[in-house]
Structure 1
Amino acid sequence: MDSKERDIGPLRCQPCLADDNQVLASFYCIDCKECQCLRCKDVHRRFSYMTGHQIVKVKPTFTKEDINRFNTYFVCNVHNRKLEFICTKDNTLCCTECKENIHKTCQNVQEISHIANKDIDDFGYLQRETDGLRNKVMTLSKYLRDTYDALNNESPEMEKLTKALTDMKEKLFRKIDNFTEQLIADGRRQIEFKSKATIKKAELSEKLVTYIDELFEDIDYWKQVPHPQNLIIRHRLAEQFKECEEKFKDVSAHLRTPGEVTLSLHNKVHSLVEHKSDIGSVYYEDHGGNLTDLSDHRAVRIELLHSRNLRRRTLDQDNLTPDITGISFLDDGKLVVIDKTNRNIRIHEKHSTDLIWKTELTPCDVATVCDGKFVVTFPGLVVFYKIINNELYEYKHTRNVLNNSTISVKDKNSYVIGTSGANVPALLITDSGQEKDLNLRLNDCSSYSSKSLFFRTRVAELLAISFKDFNCILLIDMETKEHKNVANDELIKPGYMCIGPLDTLFVCCDLGKVVHLTAEGSVLSALSTDIIEPKCISMSKDQTELAVAGSGQLLVYKIVKTDAYHDYICLNKKKEKRFQSVFY
């Protein structure tokens, strides 16, 4: 294998290559600048003179180019020398030459190795900021694309212009025909000029999205690097983030709303018929806009697919009016429905008769695990079920001390149980029955109704708690315990919630509304349903359907996504799936 193939192909263990052994590398020693396999890495650590060497993991897809790019983080952009110092006043990384020349009189320059252990890792903050900027760029990209499409769909605008000219022709003799063609051409030129400027900005914003995605992956991956290189990488990535912010400001500057072609005429046009250049002109009129006024690219709308009235009686079963307290989609698109009043679990499928099983205890909520398996909460009990040949089987159950209300999946082995009317809003329970405290406490909330939902975003694990009595939702970062109180005119008596697409969630509210909320706490939209009081909600695994239940009804809606949403999905399918939310 020649050196060129070596640079392009996957990384190989350099010590093994010396013995002509082709072994893929899994680690990289920053001090030795050497790729190593697991065996050589362990041998590497045995020698005393190599103690303290900084070793990081590398992905199987990495090439020499990725390693070279990683090494540039530790080199000064100006002098191409190793970064060893940091100016704490300017928050600037420095090499020896920078220190001796640029920061010669500065008293705030310190060695990175001396302060790295005191510095608090802040990759999470940089991740959140980068992800937030990406959402802004995606929103801007969608807006610019929509504007471009509107500009190129000239029919409505030109019809208005043509009608105005036709009306004028009736009053200004046939002479107006001489300049009608010119005015229409002017209108087209105006639109063409505007569309070219818009598509240019749209293309720049799309390139910026790609660059931010690469930056986000670098942030997420290289945060594993130990001190002191950790500090250096974070500063270098922060510099790239600032560059992205500046480019975003340039693209979003002087934002204009889609306008219209307007015909402008002189008041005394009848006396100027002989002078067509003075009769009037065509110009493109739009108005200044703000990025905050744009519709978020993650916004969706819903269309009703089918409905089921659960209050209908059957010949062999005299049901009371159902109180649906939990619904969840299975992998095959069927719905698990929890009827608290009648103590039953039903499997709903379009165009089929529901399968119904009675339970001894009162069920509360349900969450789908995988492969036809789901878990149901009862007061003080969590039961695991699976469906085999249209029969329901209990294969495991665990007990807990708190009064269960809601359940959401954290991972394949653990679940977050929400408790209503308790100062402890939620606890973690494993499939083996072990309870774990999430270290969350609420003050003076023991008498108020609340629902909890755990969900994972690209940058954090969050717990959402809805308070029906306070018309608000509390968003808590599970790692940092930072929280945000979300209140909005649309959040009227919020209750059950479910995970939505692209780091969002759906919230059941009063007055027949389902509020679409971002993980940052912004309201994307209030979606109207045909249920006066939506009680519970669930999104299908393929994110194409939304089920809403309440007042004895079950409605299934189609989730209609924007073009920007589809572009986002297509883009992320080409990347690793490590950023996707966990849906079981």
Structure 2
Amino acid sequence: MAANNAGNGEVSGRFQEILCQPCLKKNKRTAAEKFCSACDEFQCLDCSNVHYTHAFLRNHKLVNANEAKTKQGSFDMKGLDQCDQHQEVLKFFCEDENQLCCSTCAIVDHRKCHSVVEIQKVAGRSAYRSSTLKVKLEEVREKANIIIDSIVSSKEKLYEDAKEIPIKIRRMRDEVMKMFDELEISVVKDVESFKKETLEKLAIKQSQNEKYLADITTCLETIDKVYQNGTVVQRFIAEQKMKNDVNILHKNVNAECHDLETVTATFDFDETLKLPPLPVTDYVPGQLTLLFCLSEVANTKVPVNTEVILTPVKSIDLKQGKGDKDEPLYTGIDFLPDGRLVAVDNENKKCLVYNEKLEKVGSYQLSYRPLSVVAVSEDKVAITSGGKLLDILHVTKSNDITLDRRIKVTTNYYSICQKDDKYFVGGTIDHSPPVRMISSTGEEKDFNINFPNKSYPIETSACTYIRNSDKVVLTDRYEHTVFIYDVKTNTRIVVKDDQIKEPCGVAIGQSGSILVCSEETNSIVQISQTGQILSSHKLDMKYPRAICVSRDKSFLAITNLCEGNIKLQKFKISY
């Protein structure tokens, strides 16, 4: 079938053949007889017959192809069929450059192209693309709708977030106030307990000294009367009779003066306990993040006086091994950050490594008798020897031990622990003050603490340091005493109790509580930072000597000094 299509933009005088579009898809050129508006296709008689054989197509309206062509030609293209450059009707299509052309374009711009054809010829061949274009537009529209919905949702969420921020701040304020209420209750309780216990001790001390004062007054009155009214013989007899009493009074009062201390109770906040301005500049495009942080002091939890529960995990007997000169004597132990245990054997001059099951997995021969050990990092430990040196050993993951470096010092040290990343805290031997700081380069300096003018021979004292409260703990073995020194206030708490007999090794547990080996009672005594006895744990070993706690405060290890029955034990800590 042919039709004269002059007047609708086609070349005048030519007949434009309308082809069946379904056939064109099969590369067949068949004249179209019908047009289906629902299918939007020109179809030959064979292809259009499917509308009569399939029920779902029977509602489609079929018209003659010529009528449909005429109607299509009357559609107002609104300038879409005009060449942008020459404002002429688009009549040709350059297949080489995939570009629509008017007559001028075809002659001027595409004269060298090999395939410039009339639009009508290719239009029928590619008519199916209109449906593809429509599908693509539908996809684009769907995505545009998704974008708009997302923007609307984002705006709603932004409004909600903006409302939630002041609510969160108010909630946080309530939590902080609750924290301060709990802090007040806890601190007041500790202060009252400390006050009651201390007042009782002070009352006993005062009563005793008032008795001393009365005795001294009586002695002075007697001496004055004898010297005023007595004979020389009477004076001599009085002096001899009273000499012993005066010597006892002198000794007792001197001892009281030596132990004299000022009892105080203070409570201070660090100046950094404040909320700094919120950094509004901390944002990325489309995302505002308001951050603040409290200082480390403010974030530090208030120590809770909770009794520890020790559950036995493993116990091994330490026997003389092959190559050992004597029975082992572990004078120092500490946990590495990964849970392994490092020990120093004083008798056999060794540093040893145990795994979490207390199986010996590493050993290193030393040239001296080690005294104490502390884990410095993931793979380094520091060892004291009492020989004015501090050895840093490297411990690999495979348990190989080598000497990393040696630090020379001017003082002999027994116990050792870490103060911070730069300094150790060491307990001195036969030196006053009894505790000093040692830097990683060997620089030694003293704490700003008025220690008593007393030095400790080897094995009569041990020390440790409480980081979160800046306190030094010192044991006095033969005075059966534990001292807690506050570095900030230069004050001390003296802890004496029947449960503490010959305190030796000392370590810090959860919330800064103090764990002390009580050698004569064969137990571990737990003490609060205010000097309160929290608990006492009887051990299945005699004369416990060295103690340590893991970094996460979940395990405790302890060893003893009992000839023929030396043990190394590990406990799980719970509260």
TM-score range normalised by the length of the shorter chain: 0.3 to 0.5
TM-score, normalised to structure 2's length? 0.48
Q: How high is the TM-score relative to the length of structure 1?
A: 0.47
